[in-house]
């Protein structure tokens, strides 16, 4: 007798609907390899090569030598179990000062196995009981909603406007949650060049959001993977840089600024935690227990690779990332220009004009569901992401809402010369399959 398990008997997160949607996307992409993918949001290949890895490792080892570590200590740092919160705290704290004007002590930094683990750690640590919920911008990055499902934490959506999250809406949703006897523990938001919507919050709204968070006794989970990639050099302070009251946990990723294969991200949590005995520590230190129960610590070898990049960059990814920034700017401008070329004058089609990042949203005169995506890949040779993937189950019921007639376009992974052709193929789909003009 061999074991057969019913899928329905496994935990709900195994059948996570957004993960299933992403799997579907990957399958469609695999089935139509010649389609141009305006779906893939991964960074462009080609800013780093495996030849660099040795050098990064050696740069980091030389850095450790400069700090006075003996050969034995250097070996141990890379090859043994290590400190739960990692050994890049000082370099990351320095980077945050140089690149973002964020000043935090190095012990407020936890290095994580990618930013996804930082989400899990933060949600798990903050949401203590069944009444603790997390508010999240909607449409929402699927990593956040998935992490919440994994932990059994309820997500309460806060609908986004064209200018990103509206602080007054946050206040209203938080009050409603409290009125229902639950505790809104934190708010998840991507203030700059959001995934999936591409929106950014104006600086005044950022300041106001911090006030609202203080009034509603909310913490903010600020996810900032795209902050380096603005279309212009205008400074866009992160919430954490504006945060004088320690309302913000800052979630960082090296996947876009360095490369994804290191799987190194980080969490900044400089809030004070007071124990029943009066002992005081920082939230990042307290959360180290959660981190240790997930992955013990982040691969010190992977940390050393990222450490080497930071050391070589003088702790400024903004400085060394100019080539990347220029690439992504060019791609986003190319995408927006191609949309104008293909759709200007068509009142059925509208799109937003993100100020940076990897994504834009197109409202289309057709139901942008999985069947349409499959047809698009097969008959038109172009892939995109249904925006409905980024809405909770309730939201799809709203008339015209829930992203059912909208698609996310990504321009990060493509060579720029492919973008115009991708948009032309999309225009053919809309022409043939859209509602009549």
CB atoms within 10 A of CB 78: 18
Contact predicate 354/192, CB 8 Å? no
Residues 84 and 291: their CA atoms lie apart, in Å, by 7
Interface residue with its own copies among 80, 234, 323, 347 (CB under 8 A) is 80
The reply on whether position 152 binds its own copies by CB under 8 A is yes
**Site residues (CB under 8 A) for its own copies, limited to 112-141:** 113-114, 116-117, 120, 124-128
Interface residue with its own copies among 68, 275, 345, 399 (CB under 8 A) is 275
The reply on whether position 15 binds its own copies by CB under 8 A is yes
Interface residue with its own copies among 24, 29, 76, 237 (CB under 8 A) is 76
User: Least CB distance from residue 266 to its own copies, whole Å?
Assistant: 14
Stretch that binds its own copies, among 161-169, 243-251, 395-403, 423-431 (CB under 8 A): 243-251
**Site residues (CB under 8 A) for its own copies, limited to 18-57:** 19-20, 23, 42-43, 45, 48-50, 53-54, 57
Interface residue with its own copies among 61, 91, 364, 383 (CB under 8 A) is 61
CB atoms within 10 A of CB 25: 21
The reply on whether position 289 binds its own copies by CB under 8 A is yes
Q: Rounded to an integer, what is the distance from CA 383 to the centroid of its chain? A: 21
CB atoms within 10 A of CB 154: 14
Closest to its own copies by CB, 2 vs 234, is 2
DSSP summary character for residue 217? T
Closest to its own copies by CB, 247 vs 405, is 247
**Site residues (CB under 8 A) for its own copies, limited to 379-408:** none
Closest to its own copies by CB, 5 vs 371, is 5
The reply on whether position 241 binds its own copies by CB under 8 A is no
Burial class (CB in 10 A: 0-12, 13-18, 19+), 329: middle
The reply on whether position 75 binds its own copies by CB under 8 A is yes
Q: Dihedral of CA 263/264/265/271: which sign?
A: positive
Stretch that binds its own copies, among 190-198, 255-263, 344-352, 389-397 (CB under 8 A): 255-263
Closest to its own copies by CB, 13 vs 352, is 13
Residues 118 and 416: their CA atoms lie apart, in Å, by 32
Helix H or strand E encompassing 406: strand 406-410
Interface residue with its own copies among 21, 28, 38, 78 (CB under 8 A) is 78
**Site residues (CB under 8 A) for its own copies, limited to 292-351:** 292-302, 305
Residues 154 and 360: their CA atoms lie apart, in Å, by 28
From 141, 422, 158, select the one nearest 255 (Cα to Cα): 141
Q: How many CA atoms lie within 13 A of 68 on its CB side?
A: 0
The reply on whether position 371 binds its own copies by CB under 8 A is no
The dihedrals phi and psi of 343, each to the nearest 5 degrees, come to -120, -5
Size of interface with its own copies, in residues (CB under 8 A): 91
The dihedrals phi and psi of 4, each to the nearest 5 degrees, come to -125, 125
The reply on whether position 242 binds its own copies by CB under 8 A is no
Helix H or strand E encompassing 134: strand 132-138
Closest to its own copies by CB, 3 vs 371, is 3
Residue with tokens 């806060």: 158
């Amino acid at each position: 007798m061999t074991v057969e398990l019913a899928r329905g008997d496994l935990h709900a997160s195994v059948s996570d609907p957004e993960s299933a949607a992403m799997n579907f996307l990957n399958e469609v992409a695999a089935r139509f390899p010649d389609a141009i993918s305006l779906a893939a949001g991964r960074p462009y290949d080609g800013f780093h090569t495996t030849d660099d890895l040795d050098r990064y490792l050696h740069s980091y080892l030389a850095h450790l030598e400069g700090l006075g570590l003996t050969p034995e200590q250097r070996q141990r740092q890379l090859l043994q179990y290590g400190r739960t919160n990692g050994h890049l705290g000082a370099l990351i704290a320095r980077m945050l000062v140089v690149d973002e004007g964020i000043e935090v002590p190095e012990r407020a930094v936890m290095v994580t196995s990618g930013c996804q683990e930082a989400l899990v750690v933060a949600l798990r640590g903050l949401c203590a009981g069944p009444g603790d919920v997390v508010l999240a911008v909607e449409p929402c990055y699927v990593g956040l909603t998935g992490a919440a499902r994994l932990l059994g934490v309820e997500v309460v959506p806060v609908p986004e406007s064209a200018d990103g999250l509206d602080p007054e809406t946050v206040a209203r949703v938080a009050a409603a949650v409290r009125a229902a006897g639950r505790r809104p523990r934190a708010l998840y938001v991507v203030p700059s060049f959001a995934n999936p919507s591409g929106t950014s919050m104006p600086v005044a709204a950022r300041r106001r959001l911090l006030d609202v968070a203080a009034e509603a006794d909310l913490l903010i989970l600020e996810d900032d993977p795209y902050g380096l990639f603005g279309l212009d050099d205008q400074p866009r302070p992160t919430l954490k840089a504006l945060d004088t009251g320690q309302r913000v946990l800052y979630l960082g990723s090296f996947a876009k600024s360095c490369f994804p294969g290191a799987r190194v991200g980080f969490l900044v949590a400089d809030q004070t935690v007071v124990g029943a005995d009066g002992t005081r520590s920082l939230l990042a230190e307290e959360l180290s227990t959660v981190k240790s129960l997930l992955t013990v610590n982040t691969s010190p070898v992977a940390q050393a690779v990222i450490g080497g990049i930071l050391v070589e960059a003088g702790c400024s990814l903004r400085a060394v990332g100019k080539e990347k920034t220029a690439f992504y700017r060019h791609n986003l401008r190319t995408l927006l220009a191609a949309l104008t070329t293909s759709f200007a004058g068509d009142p059925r089609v509208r799109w937003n004009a993100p100020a940076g990042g990897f994504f834009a949203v197109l409202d289309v005169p057709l139901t942008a569901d999985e069947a349409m995506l499959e047809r698009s890949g097969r008959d038109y040779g172009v892939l995109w992401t249904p925006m409905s993937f980024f809405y909770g189950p309730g939201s799809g019921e709203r008339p015209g809402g829930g992203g059912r007639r909208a698609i996310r376009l990504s321009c990060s992974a493509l060579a720029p010369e492919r973008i115009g052709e991708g948009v032309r193929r999309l225009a053919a789909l809309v022409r043939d399959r859209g509602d009549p003009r």
